[in-house]
Amino acid sequence: MASRRPISVGLMGLGVVGGGVARALADKASAIEAFVGAPVRLTAALVAHPRRRRSDVPEGVRITGDPGHILDDPQVDIVVEVIGGEEPAFGHIQRALHNGKHVVTANKEVMAKHGPEVLAHAAEHGVSVGFEGSVGGGIPIIGPLLRELAANEISAVNAIINGTTNYMLTRMASDGIEYADALAEAQRLGYTEADPASDVDGVDAAYKLAILSSLAFHTTVRDTDVYREGIGSLAPADFAYAAELGYAVKLVAIAKRVGDEIQVRVHPAFLPAAHPLAKVDGVYNAVELEGDLVDWAMLQGPGAGARPTASAVVGDIMSIAQAVAAGAPPKPPPALDRGLRVQPMADLETKYYLRLRAVDRPGVMAQITRVLGDLHVSLASVIQKEVVDAAGTAEIVITTHTARESAVQDAVRELAALDVVIEVSNLVRVEDGRS
């Protein structure tokens, strides 16, 4: 039965995202009411520091430090969790669901670690969970995976889903700056967390890829299932060689179906300059999907920020509020029952770029190529750069044809052990989709 009773929203967190959500709910109240069929009112906001002066809290919103004022208030229909981190956020979400409240969250950590439990708990209590804001900020990607692309067998998700690292890599590529300088600049501009490890080590991207791949492949994928490498080993030389070879360097998040297995991996990669993701620069995010019906689609936009993330969170609030106002039952949770196995990283087959420093004397190249040949790693190109220092060392850049990860890792170990090799400076996967 439809009702015009106001839908009450309790906000947990009033920081960057929470502030954006509170403002959007106030600024767009009449458009939201027209869409929902009832007014949507923000009634209370939970914060860590309730005594702190806040300039732009909309009128009539109770600021509280007590989660019970939202979670146990029978008037609250929808709890919006934008605190972040695993706890107390996860506990609050579960308690809200237990108390029969719908939940909207932008929390990738909770959804990557506990998504299946959250969704099952919601179904058990006959309520909905919206989590569009947890991946890609303002880019609509959860909705398309759950609905608009549901008719597809998804074969791959290729994404750039961490704006901080994409900004750093863009600066390193365009201006030849060192990793440490790019990081310092990203910190100065406020693009990183207080502890930047979550961004630069690929943790944040792994959370988001776990969420996307669970939905794309109808299989529970946890953050711990995702292979992860950060961007810390990339040096200006890698960007220069990548450009010379026709590639861009990106931190990619890839989920791919391979028979009855899926690959889920986050690592730096060389992408051909013509690849759609190669052109996604700065803090922008993009998700490219391959499906049997749609063939190919890419969504691109701002991956973070108060207004873009509020766009996703408020969209979820509106869709749930509309169902509440119409007296409609919650939608069933996404099926995660295919049980596809995560492919061990050692079984990956792709191409590779290898940069090493070796002694510059006759026969060195033969030793290096013999190691690779013995392990069936076939070479696509070998470039020996001239002597780079007074010690008479040379930089050697190798690209391979498609090879097995385990063989390439063995080769790296054997190369590093050669007397003539001073160091294996970097190994980067090349994702050009050709063999």
Ligand X SMILES: NC(=O)c1ccc[n+]([C@@H]2O[C@H](COP(=O)([O-])OP(=O)(O)OC[C@H]3O[C@@H](n4cnc5c(N)ncnc54)[C@H](OP(=O)(O)O)[C@@H]3O)[C@@H](O)[C@H]2O)c1
Residues with catalytic annotation?
208
**Binds ligand X by CB under 6 A, chosen from 122, 127, 206, 304:** 304
Residue of closest CB approach to ligand X: 15
Select from 100, 194, 137, 162 the least CA-distant residue to 311. Answer: 137
Select from 382, 371, 379 the least CA-distant residue to 409. Answer: 371
Query: Least distance from C-beta 21 to ligand X, angstroms?
Result: 9
Q: Give 17 or 255: the residue with its C-beta nearer to ligand X.
A: 17
- The verdict on 100 binding ligand X (CB under 6 A) reads no
**Binds ligand X by CB under 6 A, chosen from 16, 182, 211, 371:** 16
* Tokens 């201006």, residue located: 175
Q: Give 84 or 315: the residue with its C-beta nearer to ligand X.
A: 84
- The verdict on 84 binding ligand X (CB under 6 A) reads yes
**Binds ligand X by CB under 6 A, chosen from 101, 108, 121, 171:** 108
**Binds ligand X by CB under 6 A, chosen from 137, 144, 196, 315:** 137
Query: Least distance from C-beta 162 to ligand X, angstroms?
Result: 11
Query: Least distance from C-beta 360 to ligand X, angstroms?
Result: 49
Q: Which of these ranges, 106-114, 120-128, 251-259, 422-430, lies near ligand X under the rule CB under 6 A? A: 106-114
Vertex 240 angle, CA 238 and 242, to 5°: 65
CA dihedral 302, 304, 308, 310 (to 10 degrees): 160
- The verdict on 301 binding ligand X (CB under 6 A) reads no
d(CA 84, CA 106): 8
**What is the full DSSP assignment across 361-410?**
STTHHHHHHHHHHHTT--EEEEEEEEE-STT-EEEEEEEESSEEHHHHHH
Q: Give 17 or 348: the residue with its C-beta nearer to ligand X.
A: 17
Strands 421-430 vs 349-359: parallel, antiparallel or unpaired: antiparallel
**What is the full DSSP assignment across 128-146?**
-EE-GGGSSTTS--HHIII
Q: Where are the alpha helices (DSSP H) in 219-305?
A: 236-245
Q: Give 95 or 401: the residue with its C-beta nearer to ligand X.
A: 95
- The verdict on 320 binding ligand X (CB under 6 A) reads no
- The verdict on 91 binding ligand X (CB under 6 A) reads no
Cβ neighbours of residue 357 closer than 8 Å, sequence gap 6 or more: 388, 393, 394, 395, 396, 421, 422, 423, 425
- The verdict on 96 binding ligand X (CB under 6 A) reads no
Q: Give 82 or 119: the residue with its C-beta nearer to ligand X.
A: 82
Per the CB < 8 A criterion, the answer to whether 294 and 152 are in contact is yes
Q: Residues interacting with ligand X, by CB under 6 A?
A: 13-18, 46-49, 52, 82-84, 88, 106-108, 133, 137, 304-305, 309
